[in-house]
Amino acid sequence: MHLTRRNSGLLLAPLLALLVWWLTPVLAYEARTVATIMALCLVFWMTEVIPLSMTAFLGVLLAVLVGVADINTAFQNLGHPIILLFIGSFLLARSMTRHGLDKRIALFILSRPFFQKSLFRLFLGFSSISFLLSMWVSNSVTVAMLLPLMLGVTQLVCQPEKGRSPAVFFLLGIAYSASIGGISTIIGSPPNLIGVNYLEQQGITIDFLQWMLLALPISLSMYGVMVVYMHYFLKKCSYNQSTVQVYVAKHQQERQRLMKGEKVTMGVFLLAVVLWLSPGVLNLLGLERGYAFMSTYFAESTVAILAALLLFLIPPGKENNGEGTLTAGDLVKIDWDTILLFGGGMALGQLVVTSGLADVIGRSITSFVDPEQQVLLVFALVAMVLLLTEVSSNTAIAITFVPIIIGVLQGLGLPLLYPVLGVVVACSFAFMLPIATPPNAIVYGSKQVPIGDMVRVGVLLNAVGAIIITGWVLLYMG
């Protein structure tokens, strides 16, 4: 039999699970069983034997079958408010794509004289849009929206240089910008939501604005480094400004008037952003009653679902046959795999904590670590997660390792918030391999980015990312 990646996973997963069971006789039954299940799931995730979301469900189902989870509570996380937040934000992004708001944004950049001046400035325009959009829309959705536009733009302006097209750096830059921008808000990337959920279980509540104030400096620092790095590659490439001007002139005639569907989508999107930010702003201003009211009645997930419902209710013009800005057909076109992975994954992560496994691993690691060496500890945790994320889904790694790292920090008597923030951010800072993050996978799927180029460009950004995250976390802890 030809040993494909899937077949190797089917072979390795039960072997690793048996090895873990055999090596852990000292553990309590629950912790030992969950460790065995997690080992099997980790191999399934890395080799994608079945869809990522179904692996999470397999893990929870096995836990129910062997008696370490109760069927009545095992799958409760599928109804978690964070799942609703995901669904709502994905539907917002779907409305942008459906009504051409993404194409209008691309045309806006192409038509600005500043961005037309050079290939690097054009890259700066699109990467900044990718960065900003991914703060409010899932990073995978951002890249999926921008990829068709980027392929058209790169064919227009990128001439191959010595056998390698600058399109490679354009596409990688868009993917990297989305991953970096996605850490800036709670809703930007799945690991952020996972981290917030685990911190909440430990009694640490962090609102939308608080997360933004902590994560935005990290993302801006990394984005600046990435832009300077890409400038090094793009400055050697030739560029013809007149082709862009001709393209803009042609397409601007087609898209002059803002359609009602675009106006409704923009209006609903801005309303959602204002409501997401309001509790944090009221908290900063010391308006406790206003903060309590907004936090209770307009939580992040409530706002996301409200925005989605408004898009289904408000018609995009007279010629819509009585339908809303979004229709039933749009429901099937959002990323249900990520949504289900998140629900199943949170259930798995909860088992790691409730079985005592996180505590056991935490105490084991703390016996080798000097709590005084905070720099080394934070860097080691960040670098470990960053490397693991390269070979598995960032969502899967966050689900698996955040509870373990919480156990490590508790064992050392260290504060949880800032190191957990650093680890969660590191889950999105993997730039070397397609499987590492959804944006990497999407641009690799375009067949325009050879894996060798992704590894070569991404390895330095990985190293710099680990240093930047560690620096900011230590600054916050200080």
Residue after which a domain boundary falls, among 309, 331, 353:
331
Q: Say if 404 falls within a structural domain.
A: no
Confidence of residue 470 (pLDDT cuts 50, 70, 90): very high
- Do residues 253 and 285 share a domain? yes
Asked if residue 94 lies in contact with residue 324, where contact means CB atoms within 8 angstroms, the answer is no
Structure tokens at 115: 């961005």
pLDDT tens by residue, 419-466: 999 999 999 898 987 767 778 877 876 777 887 788 888 989 999 999
- Do residues 67 and 136 share a domain? no
Q: What is the DSSP letter of 238?
A: -
- Do residues 183 and 36 share a domain? no
Query: What are the residues facing 164 on neighbouring strands?
Result: 161
Q: Say if 67 falls within a structural domain.
A: yes
Q: What is the structure's pLDDT at 76?
A: 80
The top-scoring range by mean pLDDT among 25-29, 45-49, 115-119, 444-448 is 25-29
- Do residues 7 and 102 share a domain? no
Q: Say if 49 falls within a structural domain.
A: yes
Can you tell me the distance from the alpha carbon of 139 to that of 186, in angstroms, rounded to the nearest whole number?
Answer: 12
pLDDT tens by residue, 157-185: 666 555 456 778 888 999 999 999 999 98
Residue after which a domain boundary falls, among 19, 47, 73:
73
- Do residues 272 and 311 share a domain? yes
Can you tell me the distance from the alpha carbon of 451 to that of 440, in angstroms, rounded to the nearest whole number?
Answer: 10
Q: What is the mean pLDDT of residues 105-112?
A: 75
Can you tell me the distance from the alpha carbon of 312 to that of 409, in angstroms, rounded to the nearest whole number?
Answer: 45
Q: Say if 4 falls within a structural domain.
A: yes
Can you tell me the distance from the alpha carbon of 132 to that of 108, in angstroms, rounded to the nearest whole number?
Answer: 15
Residue 369 CB neighbour total at 10 angstroms: 16
Structure tokens at 418: 């800032």
pLDDT tens by residue, 297-348: 888 788 889 999 999 999 887 656 678 889 988 898 887 877 787 677 777 7
Start-end of H helices in 355-445: 357-366, 374-390, 394-412, 417-426, 438-444
Q: Say if 39 falls within a structural domain.
A: yes
- Do residues 227 and 275 share a domain? yes
**Nearest residue to 341 (alpha-carbon basis) of 396, 388, 382, 301:** 396
Can you tell me the distance from the alpha carbon of 110 to that of 166, in angstroms, rounded to the nearest whole number?
Answer: 17
- Do residues 148 and 223 share a domain? yes
Q: Say if 463 falls within a structural domain.
A: no
Sequence-separated (6 or more) residues with CB below 8 Å from residue 150: 126, 170, 171, 174
**Nearest residue to 259 (alpha-carbon basis) of 372, 406, 96:** 96
Q: Say if 431 falls within a structural domain.
A: no
Q: Which residue type, as a one-letter code, is found at position 207? A: D
Q: What is the structure's pLDDT at 435?
A: 66
Q: What is the maximal distance between C-alpha atoms in the chain?
A: 72
- Do residues 48 and 104 share a domain? no
Confidence of residue 1 (pLDDT cuts 50, 70, 90): very low
- Do residues 210 and 271 share a domain? yes
- Do residues 47 and 163 share a domain? no
Q: What is the structure's pLDDT at 320?
A: 61
Q: Say if 399 falls within a structural domain.
A: no
- Do residues 156 and 265 share a domain? yes
Can you tell me the distance from the alpha carbon of 369 to that of 331, in angstroms, rounded to the nearest whole number?
Answer: 48
Q: Is 373 exposed, middle or buried (0-12, 13-18, 19+ CB in 10 A)?
A: exposed
pLDDT tens by residue, 58-85: 988 999 999 888 888 788 877 777 778 7
Q: What is the structure's pLDDT at 87?
A: 84
Q: What is the mean pLDDT of residues 242-266?
A: 75
Start-end of H helices in 137-207: 139-157, 167-182, 190-201
Q: What is the structure's pLDDT at 472?
A: 94
Range of the domain at 26: 1-73
Tell me if residue 401 falls in helix, strand or coil: helix
Residue after which a domain boundary falls, among 44, 73, 102:
73
Q: How far is CA 357 from the centre of its chain?
A: 26
Can you tell me the distance from the alpha carbon of 424 to that of 197, in angstroms, rounded to the nearest whole number?
Answer: 11
Query: Residue 113 pLDDT > 60, yes or no?
Result: yes
Q: What is the mean pLDDT of residues 232-253?
A: 71
Query: Residue 214 pLDDT > 90, yes or no?
Result: yes
- Do residues 7 and 115 share a domain? no
Q: Which residue type, as a one-letter code, is found at position 42? A: L
Structurally, the chain folds into a number of domains equal to: 2
Asked if residue 273 lies in contact with residue 136, where contact means CB atoms within 8 angstroms, the answer is yes
